[in-house]
Chains A and B, each alone.
Chain A
Amino acid sequence: MTDAVPTRPAGGRIAISHATLVAGLSALVVVFFALSLAAGYAPLDLPQAASDVLHGRATLASLVLMELRLPRAILGALVGFSLGVTGAAMQGLLRNPLAEPGITGVSGAAALGAVIVFYFGLAGIVPIALPLGGVAGAIVATITLYGLAGQGASTTTLILAGVAVNSFSGALTSLALNLSPNPYAVTEIVFWLLGSLADRSMHYVWLVLPLMLAGWTLLVLSAPALDGLTLGEDTAQSLGFNLRRLRLMLIAGTALSVGSAVAVTGAVAFIGLVVPHLLRPLVAHRPGRLLLVSGLGGAALLLLADTLIRWLPVRPELKLGVVTAIIGAPFLFSLIYRLRRTT
Chain B
Amino acid sequence: MRIEAKGIAAGYGSTPVLRNVDVIADAGQVIGLIGANGSGKTTLLRILANLREPDEGAVRYSGQTAAEIGARALARRISYLAQGGDVHWPMQVETLVALGRLPHRDDGHSLAHECAIVERAMMAADVLHLRDRTMSQISGGERMRILLARALAVEGEFLLADEPIAALDPLHQLQVMEMLHETARQGRGVIVVLHDLALASRFCDRLVLLAEGGVLVQGSPQEVLTDDNVKRAYGVDVVRGERDGVPYLVPWAPSRDNAG
Q: Which residues of A contact B (CB under 8 A)?
A: 2-8, 11-13, 95, 152, 224, 227-232, 234-235, 237-242, 280, 284-287
B154: chain A residues at CB < 8 Å are 239
Binds A, one of B17-25, B69-77, B170-178, B236-244: B69-77
Residue contact A6 to B98, C-beta cutoff 8 Å: yes
Q: In the complex the two chains form, is A239's CB within 8 Å of B51's CB?
A: no
Residues A238 and B75 in contact, CB atoms below 8 Å apart? yes
Known: A231-B150, A232-B82. Contact between A224 and B92, CB under 8 A?
no
Q: Given A13-B132, A224-B105, A284-B91, A230 and B96 touching (CB < 8 A)?
A: yes
Interchain nearest-CB distance for A51 vs B (Å): 48
- A34 CB to nearest B CB, Å: 35
**A-B pairs with the 9 shortest C-beta distances?**
A240-B75, A6-B114, A238-B80, A95-B88, A240-B72, A4-B105, A285-B89, A232-B86, A234-B82
**Contact sample, A vs B, 15 pairs, CB 8 Å cutoff:** A4-B101, A5-B98, A6-B114, A95-B88, A228-B102, A231-B86, A231-B150, A235-B81, A238-B51, A238-B75, A238-B80, A239-B100, A239-B102, A285-B90, A286-B91
Q: Point out the residues of chain B lying under 8 angstroms from A11, CB to CB.
A: 92, 94-95, 131-132
Contact yes or no, B132 A8, CB < 8 A = no
Residues of A with C-beta under 8 A to B101: 4-6
Q: In the complex, A237 Cα to B50 Cα: how many Å?
A: 9
Greatest chain B CB density within 10 A among A4, A5, A237 is at A5
Contact partner of B98 among A7, A240, A241, A285, CB < 8 A? A7
Tell me whether B204 is interfacial, beta carbon within 8 Å.
Answer: no
Separation in Å of the A250 CB from the closest CB of chain B? 16
CB <8 Å contact, A239 and B99: yes
Please name 7 further chain A to chain B contacts, defined as beta carbons within 8 Å, in addition to the given A8-B94, A231-B86, sorted by A numbering: A6-B111, A7-B94, A224-B105, A231-B82, A238-B49, A238-B79, A238-B82
Is the C-beta of B138 less than 8 angstroms from some C-beta in chain A? Answer: no
Give the chain A neighbours of B87 by CB distance below 8 A: 230-231
**Most-contacted residue by chain B among A234, A238, A280 (CB, 10 A):** A238
- Which of chain B's residues have a CB closer than 8 A to the CB of A232? 82, 84, 86, 88
Nearest CB to that of A235 among chain B residues? Answer: B82
* B74 surroundings in chain A (CB, below 8 A): 240
B134 close to chain A: CB less than 8 A: yes
Closest B residue by C-beta to A243:
B51
Distance from A279 Cβ to chain B, minimum over Cβ atoms (Å): 13
* Nearest B residue to A239, CB-CB: B102
Nearest-CB distance from A13 to chain B (Å)?
6
Q: Point out the residue from B51, B80, B95, B150 that lies within 8 Å of A286, measured CB to CB.
A: B95
Query: Which residues from chain A contact B91 at a C-beta distance below 8 Å?
Result: 230, 284-286
Q: Which residues of A contact B94 (CB under 8 A)?
A: 7-8, 11
> Which of B80, B81, B84, B99 is within 8 Å of A230, CB to CB?
B99
- Give the CA-CA distance A86 to B148 in the complex, in Å: 32
Find out whether the CB atom of B118 lies under 8 angstroms from the CB atom of A240: no
A212 to chain B, nearest CB (A): 27
Distance of A2 Cα from B132 Cα, bound (Å): 22
Question: Is the C-beta of B103 less than 8 angstroms from some C-beta in chain A?
Answer: yes
Is B78 positioned at the interface, with any CB of A under 8 Å from its CB? yes
Residue of A nearest to B132 (CB): A13
Residues from chain B with a CB closer than 8 A to the CB of A228 are 99, 102
A229 to B99, CA, bound (A): 10
Indicate if the CB atoms of A230 and B92 lie closer than 8 Å. no
Is A239 a contact of B103 with CB atoms below 8 Å? yes
CA distance in complex: A287, B102 (Å):
14
Q: Which residues of B sit under 8 angstroms from A237, Cβ to Cβ?
A: 51
- What is the minimal beta-carbon distance from B12 to any residue of chain A, in angstroms? 14
- Residues of A within 8 Å of B6, CB to CB, are none
Q: Is B46 an interface residue (CB 8 A)?
A: yes
Report the separation of the CA atoms of residues A312 and B111 in the bound assembly, to the nearest whole angstrom.
50
Is B167 close to A, CB under 8 A?
Answer: no
Across the interface, A235 reaches (CB within 8 A) one of B80, B90, B105, B132, namely B80
Closest to B110 in A: A6
Q: A238-B79, A240-B76 are in contact. Are A8 and B115 (CB under 8 A)?
A: yes
Identify the closest chain A residue to B134 (Cβ).
A13
Structural contact, A13 and B92, CB atoms closer than 8 A = yes
Chain B contacts of A231 at CB under 8 A?
Answer: 82, 86-88, 96, 99, 147, 150
Most buried by B among A7, A235, A286: A235
Question: Is A240 within 8 A of B86, CB to CB?
Answer: no
Q: How far is the CA of A239 from the CA of B76 in the complex (A)?
A: 8
Residues of A within 8 A of B71 (CB): 240-242
